[in-house]
Structure 1
């Protein structure tokens, strides 16, 4: 298969094989920001939509481990990472 740009707003898709001549099919180009969603991706996308935004069970587990001193915490390192992320102003 060979994909190349055609006229503005179209994409040229050619199927190439040894036994048959090349076929050309013009398909509209996708608009900027539009995502390609195939049937293969639909179950994964739906599973992600069904997941909660926050894993409250894991947050509680980490909070408890932090309170018990089982999870190392370096406030200086966290502060440095925050400064680096937000840029030192």
Structure 2
């Protein structure tokens, strides 16, 4: 059985139950064959993503300055709740 759930960052997560038939587990483990069109369309986007820095330091600096000036609202309780929800320890 597959269960797709959304995460706070919008990415989908798939979980496969341990009781899944062996054929289903093999199908999940087998590499997917991409259609040539999909591959050709995706390659430029994948390359652009690889070239991006992992952290946008300019954006980090702008957000840090806005927080320091009080221009960006910050709710630590809301942040804590989002972190708990993301890690699956909802209350």
Common fold by TM > 0.5: yes
TM-score grouping bracket, smaller chain normalisation: 0.5 to 0.7
- After TM superposition, list the pairs within 5 Å mapping 1:1-89 onto structure 2: 32-34=30-32, 36=34, 38-86=39-87, 87-88=89-90
Which consecutive aligned stretches of 4+ in structure 1 deviate over 6 angstroms post-superposition?
A: none
Q: Tell me which protein shows more strand as a share of its residues.
A: 1
Cα RMSD (Å): 2.2
Partner residue, 1:16:
none
Q: Which runs of 5+ in 2 are unaligned?
A: 1-28
Query: Aligned partners of 1:38 and 1:44: how far apart in 2?
Result: 10
Shift of 1:84: 2.2
TM-score (ref. length: structure 2): 0.54
Q: Which has the higher contact order (CA 8 A, sep 6+)?
A: 2
TM-score (ref. length: structure 1): 0.55
SS of equivalent residue, structure 2 residue 74: coil
SS of equivalent residue, structure 1 residue 58: helix
Q: Which runs of 5+ in 1 are unaligned?
A: 1-30
Q: Tell me which protein shows more helix as a share of its residues.
A: 2
